[in-house]
Amino acid sequence: MSGGAARLSRVLGLDIGATSTRARLVADGVVVGDAAAASASLTAVGRDRAAVVLDELLAGLPGLDRPLDAVCAGAAGSRTARETSDFLRARLAPATRAGAVLVVDDASLVLPAAGLAEGVAVICGTGSIATGRWRDREAWAGGWGYLLGDEGSGYWIVRTAIRALHVRRAGGLPPGDLGACLLGAVGVPDLDALRAAFYRRPEPGNWARHAPLVLDCADPEVEAIVRQAAGHLAGLAAQVAGQVEAAGAPVVLAGGLMASERLRAAAVAALGAVLPASPVRLLREPPVAGAVRLAEAAAAR
């Protein structure tokens, strides 16, 4: 028998997305603290605002009165912005025993959250991205942001719907149910005002939030938009699977828009066409659970 009791492993996981942040504190496998806040992403809100949100979030998280063994932060933009990693390590290292802070892109949380070490993850929310890991190979597709990509995302869906309404009007057709849905949601009287609002504030967060409404709309145009979005998402998955040579690897669907049964069913069908040997599953755990699992692995090391 050992001379003393085993020390509990205490880890913190953070999921820092473009629209929100979630933190989870786990001691010896048991969740002892959960908290959510606005985005603390440097790329989304800037350094000053990110610092305020992160400090307030951690201050309100119960159980952070003792040092942590490790922290994992999955942060949007960290893969391409060194500033994000440096910022998070500097803010989080003082909360640990020995400075064990792991920073990864938030998309990298999906596979561990699903309990997988290998596979392909497709994330569809405000933006869209796919990532995969297979036999020591790693690949990414998408994630370029709304100006260069994000096909199939919430922003893309709403932008495509707005464009479809203008094409419809140019053909002498009424705006229909889709027009009623979007005009009412945005609070504008007509398509000219809708276009003006879009150009005045084109940032993704202003428009992606209307994507669930578009997906639920009964307008026949929506079916085509859904099929296109699903095709784009399946294309991202196929690109990643090809890069890592992962034929038959499991595919995990994640992100807020996967709550839409309509889009989810279309995505599963599109994936079946391009990756017929790959089983497809929906992420059931929140991505922050993946951050916790990565932090636990770092603590064990």
Residues, the chain, total? 301
Q: Which two tokens stand for residue 42?
A: 């440097």
Best-predicted range by mean pLDDT (84-98, 137-151, 258-272): 258-272
- What's the CA gap between 124 and 257, in Å, rounded? 6
Question: Residue 232: what pLDDT?
Answer: 98
Which tens digits make up the pLDDT trace of 208-266? Answer: 999 999 999 999 999 999 999 999 999 999 999 999 998 899 999 999 999 999 999 99
The yes-or-no verdict on residue 1 having pLDDT over 50 is no
Which tens digits make up the pLDDT trace of 175-195? Answer: 999 999 999 999 999 999 999
Considering only residues 101 and 77, tell me which one the structure prediction assigns the higher pLDDT. 101
What percent of the chain stands above pLDDT 90? 70
Cα 145 to its chain centre, rounded Å, is 12
Strand order in the sheet with 137-142: 137-142, 128-134, 119-124, 251-254, 280-282
Which tens digits make up the pLDDT trace of 26-64? Answer: 998 899 889 999 988 887 788 899 999 999 998 888 878
Question: Residue 44: what pLDDT?
Answer: 79
Evaluate whether 76 touches 18 at the Cβ level (below 8 Å). yes
Question: Residue 7: what pLDDT?
Answer: 52
This model's pTM is above 0.85:
yes
Nearest to 168 by CA among 208, 211, 222, 217: 222
Least confident of 73-82, 120-129, 149-158, 278-287: 73-82
Helix (H, G, I), strand (E, B) or coil at 37: strand
- What's the CA gap between 144 and 79, in Å, rounded? 11
Question: Residue 291: what pLDDT?
Answer: 96
Under CATH, what is the fold of the domain 141-282? Nucleotidyltransferase; domain 5 (3.30.420)
As annotated, the residues of the chain forming the CATH 3.30.420.40 domain(s) are 10-114+286-300, 141-282
The yes-or-no verdict on residue 277 having pLDDT over 90 is yes
Superfamily of domain 10-114+286-300: ATPase, nucleotide binding domain (3.30.420.40)
Give the pLDDT mean for 3-17: 74
Question: Residue 5: what pLDDT?
Answer: 40
